């Protein structure tokens, strides 16, 4: 073959490959997304989505709110991280939300949102979420989409197995991923087996005040407690926690914590634990932890410090906690809508083990134990297991339910969702996801009564699915229709931060309670300015308090003189508007801080410490009206020793 002929063949060959790629490529994408998909996710302009999806922001420390089926991003709720977009954690009123026993803590890693429930069904009042790094649980009010309360959890590290709620939100449960000395102590790390312990915490939600309070903790062996779910129906009194590292390794866990064929699901009878606390069986440990509460009338966060916690030792509390052997390094633990089946996701297991609650009770009665650890009886695997789902995909992690007798399990390594039938344990369908799914979410999918229309895959890796954005590509959610026999992929949408877990709820449950503005007459902020005529500037030594009002389209006062270098200038901005969706913003040149975003009827304060004399404009940062651009003012800053009088 001469060169020309070779070239010709190469061209023909290349063309064939190109055609084949286009053809098979199209075939593949047709197989993945077909038919009337666009119509199923299209929410026409002006129309509302059917569900709200609340996804954890992972290392953003926040919660992102999306509509379903559209995947439109509506809001980022500030929870554990400062947010310069709203001033959360920067304004004087909100800083205290981020107080901890380690000081002001402006960031965390948020993983698992969980709705409050009534009778085992999400009720639309609150959503809770955990902080993993500096152990905390937050409560977000779903009428305002604002974080209302954050409680720190002492004697804990890596608050991963949290915050899952009992059937009527009696308790929010939390457990330690990292075991540590309890109380914390300066000991050699190699003394892990001797000195390190885990805890399981029960946070009580007061039904009247709706405030959180750390009711008690249970001291458990030093494993890594990973995830949790409370029981429901017949298993109402119980909560279940997965654990791995029953080996007690403290180094190179990928090998050293993967030795045992089975680790454990810990089953805790919280009703009995409650009883033991009442009977005085708990020991009081000194432990410093904060509770931060945002008062909606004062528009102000208040921190209180607690100094002790009640701790139960399983050795003193028979019948309170049992271990269910579970293959192998289990991750998720999920309870089906009937409350009978407890499904574990062994990330290194070849099957999905499903425990039976009925068999579990019977095994306890018949004392089918295989020894004990630190006073916790270990049940025999065969005595508690209801069945195993064979061939569930590689790396099964989490399971949600559709309320029609099926379970859906995410498989991280094989990047798929596997649908299986409860009772027969047979796999009936599987669908690839793109890629490396962690959690998955069916609206109400961990409740007694799921709205089983969609499953949302929460994916860690999206290489080749989106436009490149530098070294980091977004994480992603995928919407999958589960209304028919076969799962059908409908939509990909990128997420804010890492969506570890998400929960969704019908929009109608939240829309009707949505708060439109705060009543100005109910505003009890100590720096409130009730009307424009009360706006003023007051000096108290080096502290200057500017009582500023905002109303379309001006600030009052808007010319302020007599501020000096070295002053602490507090801008207390009250938004006098009494209408929906009219926030005003505030920023002043050279402000070493975030902006303020002030909702109608609210007062918010930002601290400014001018370091150079001159003229400093301030303005409204949130477009509010046709004359928004006119909404501005000036501050004159004079040298420290100047005798320019205060005027406004």
- Footprint of Cu ion on this chain (CB under 5 A)? 584, 620, 624, 631
Residue with smaller CB distance to Cu ion, 619 or 648: 619
CA 344, distance to chain mean position in Å, is 21
Residue with smaller CB distance to Cu ion, 411 or 631: 631
Contact 228, 164 (CB under 8 A): yes
CB atoms within 10 A of CB 26: 10
Residue with smaller CB distance to Cu ion, 10 or 627: 627
Residue with smaller CB distance to Cu ion, 133 or 625: 625
Rounded to the nearest whole angstrom, what is the least distance from the CB of residue 554 to Cu ion in the complex?
Answer: 9
The closest alpha carbon to 109, from 72, 30, 68, 56, belongs to 56
Residue with smaller CB distance to Cu ion, 437 or 620: 620
Rounded to the nearest whole angstrom, what is the least distance from the CB of residue 97 to Cu ion in the complex?
Answer: 25
CA distance 175 to 242: 10
CA distance 60 to 190: 33
Rounded to the nearest whole angstrom, what is the least distance from the CB of residue 555 to Cu ion in the complex?
Answer: 9
Contact 287, 342 (CB under 8 A): no
CA distance 50 to 479: 13
Question: Which tokens hold the place of 416?
Answer: 């798929």
Residue with smaller CB distance to Cu ion, 240 or 518: 518
Rounded to the nearest whole angstrom, what is the least distance from the CB of residue 585 to Cu ion in the complex?
Answer: 7
CB burial string 272-282: b at 16+ within 10 A, e below: bbbebbeeebb
Task: Indicate the pairing of strand 632-638 with strand 559-564.
Answer: parallel
Task: Indicate the pairing of strand 584-588 with strand 554-556.
Answer: unpaired
CA 51, distance to chain mean position in Å, is 18
For residue 112, the SS3 value is: coil
Contact 96, 119 (CB under 8 A): no
Rounded to the nearest whole angstrom, what is the least distance from the CB of residue 86 to Cu ion in the complex?
Answer: 15
Residue with smaller CB distance to Cu ion, 230 or 551: 551
β-sheet with 596-598: strand ranges across: 559-564, 632-638, 614-619, 584-588, 596-598
Rounded to the nearest whole angstrom, what is the least distance from the CB of residue 622 to Cu ion in the complex?
Answer: 6
Residue with smaller CB distance to Cu ion, 60 or 91: 91
Residue with smaller CB distance to Cu ion, 321 or 624: 624
Residue with smaller CB distance to Cu ion, 320 or 596: 596
Q: Which helix (H) or strand (E) holds 506?
A: strand 502-506
Residue with smaller CB distance to Cu ion, 189 or 626: 626
The closest alpha carbon to 238, from 292, 171, 190, belongs to 171
CA distance 539 to 544: 4
CA 359, distance to chain mean position in Å, is 33
β-sheet with 488-494: strand ranges across: 437-441, 454-459, 476-481, 488-494
Contact 133, 109 (CB under 8 A): yes
Residue with smaller CB distance to Cu ion, 267 or 520: 520
CA distance 67 to 572: 35
Question: Which tokens hold the place of 619?
Answer: 């303005």
CA distance 603 to 570: 12
Residue with smaller CB distance to Cu ion, 110 or 597: 597
CA distance 78 to 142: 13
Those residues with Cβ within 8 angstroms of residue 603's Cβ, 6 or more apart along the chain or in another chain: 93, 299, 523, 525, 527, 528, 529, 572, 573, 574, 575
CA distance 575 to 549: 6
For residue 431, the SS3 value is: strand
Residue with smaller CB distance to Cu ion, 630 or 640: 630
Strands of 451-501 (E only): list them: 454-459, 476-481, 488-494
Residue with smaller CB distance to Cu ion, 4 or 626: 626
Residue 75: C-alpha distances to residues 46, 293, 517, 518, 607 (Å): 17, 22, 17, 19, 26
Residue with tokens 């890596």: 158
Residue with smaller CB distance to Cu ion, 331 or 584: 584
Half-sphere exposure of 612 (CA within 13 A, CB side): 7
Q: Which helix (H) or strand (E) holds 137?
A: strand 136-141
């Amino acid at each position: 073959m001469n060169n020309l002929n070779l070239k010709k063949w190469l061209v023909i060959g290349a063309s064939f490959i190109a055609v084949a790629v286009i053809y098979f490529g199209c075939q593949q994408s047709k197989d993945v997304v077909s038919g009337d998909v666009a119509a199923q996710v299209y929410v026409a302009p002006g129309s509302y989505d059917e569900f709200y999806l609340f996804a954890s922001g992972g290392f953003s420390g926040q919660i992102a709110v999306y509509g379903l089926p559209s995947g439109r991003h509506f809001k980022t709720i500030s929870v554990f991280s400062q947010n310069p977009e709203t001033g959360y954690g920067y304004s004087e009123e909100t800083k205290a939300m981020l107080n901890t026993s380690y000081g002001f803590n402006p960031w965390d890693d948020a993983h698992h949102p969980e709705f409050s429930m009534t009778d085992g069904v999400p009720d639309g009042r609150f959503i809770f979420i955990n902080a993993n790094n500096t152990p905390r649980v937050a409560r977000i009010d779903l009428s305002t989409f604002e974080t209302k309360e954050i409680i720190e959890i002492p004697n804990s590290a890596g608050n991963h197995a949290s915050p899952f709620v009992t059937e009527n939100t009696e308790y929010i449960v939390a457990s330690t991923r990292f075991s540590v000395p309890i109380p914390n102590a300066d000991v050699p790390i190699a003394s892990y087996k001797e000195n390190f312990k885990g805890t399981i915490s029960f946070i009580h939600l007061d039904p009247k005040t709706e405030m959180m309070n750390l009711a008690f903790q249970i001291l458990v062996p030093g494993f890594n407690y990973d995830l949790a779910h409370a029981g429901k129906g017949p298993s109402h009194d119980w909560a279940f926690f997965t654990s791995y590292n029953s080996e007690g390794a403290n180094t190179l866990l990928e090998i050293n914590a993967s030795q045992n064929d089975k680790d454990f699901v810990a089953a805790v009878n919280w009703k009995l634990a409650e009883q033991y606390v009442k009977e005085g069986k708990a020991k009081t440990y000194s432990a410093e932890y904060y509770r931060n509460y945002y008062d909606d009338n004062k528009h102000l966060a208040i921190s209180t410090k607690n100094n002790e916690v009640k701790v139960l030792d399983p050795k003193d509390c028979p019948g309170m906690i049992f271990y269910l052997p579970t293959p192998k390094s289990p991750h998720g633990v999920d309870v089906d809508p009937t409350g009978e089946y407890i499904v574990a996701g062994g990330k290194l297991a070849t099957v999905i083990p499903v425990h039976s609650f009925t068999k579990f009770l019977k095994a306890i009665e018949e004392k089918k134990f295989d020894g004990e650890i630190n006073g916790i009886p270990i049940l025999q695997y065969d005595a508690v297991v209801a069945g195993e789902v064979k061939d569930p995909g590689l790396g099964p992690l989490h399971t949600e339910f559709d309320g029609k007798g099926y379970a859906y399990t995410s498989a991280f390594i094989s990047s798929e969702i596997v649908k299986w039938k409860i009772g027969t344990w047979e796999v009936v369908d599987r669908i690839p996801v793109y890629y490396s799914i962690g959690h998955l979410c069916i609206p109400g999918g961990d409740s007694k009564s799921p709205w089983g229309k969609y499953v949302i895959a929460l994916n860690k890796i999206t290489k080749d699915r989106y436009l490149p954005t530098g070294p980091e590509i977004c994480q992603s959610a995928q919407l999958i229709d589960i209304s028919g026999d076969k799962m059908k992929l409908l939509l990909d949408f990128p997420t804010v931060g890492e969506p570890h877990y998400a929960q969704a709820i019908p929009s109608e449950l939240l829309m009707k309670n949505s708060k439109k503005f705060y009543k100005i007459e109910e505003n009890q902020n100590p720096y409130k300015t009730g009307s424009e005529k009360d706006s003023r500037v007051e000096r108290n030594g080096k502290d200057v308090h500017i009582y500023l009002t905002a109303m379309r389209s001006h600030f009052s006062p808007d010319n302020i003189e007599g501020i000096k270098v070295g002053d602490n200038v507090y801008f207390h901005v009250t938004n006098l508007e009494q209408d929906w969706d009219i926030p005003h913003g505030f920023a002043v040149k050279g402000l070493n801080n975030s902006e303020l975003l002030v909702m109608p009827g609210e007062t918010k304060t930002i601290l400014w410490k001018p370091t150079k004399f001159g003229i400093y404009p301030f303005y409204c940062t949130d477009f509010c009206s046709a004359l928004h651009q006119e909404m501005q003012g000036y501050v004159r800053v004079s040298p420290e020793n100047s005798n320019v009088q205060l005027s406004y």
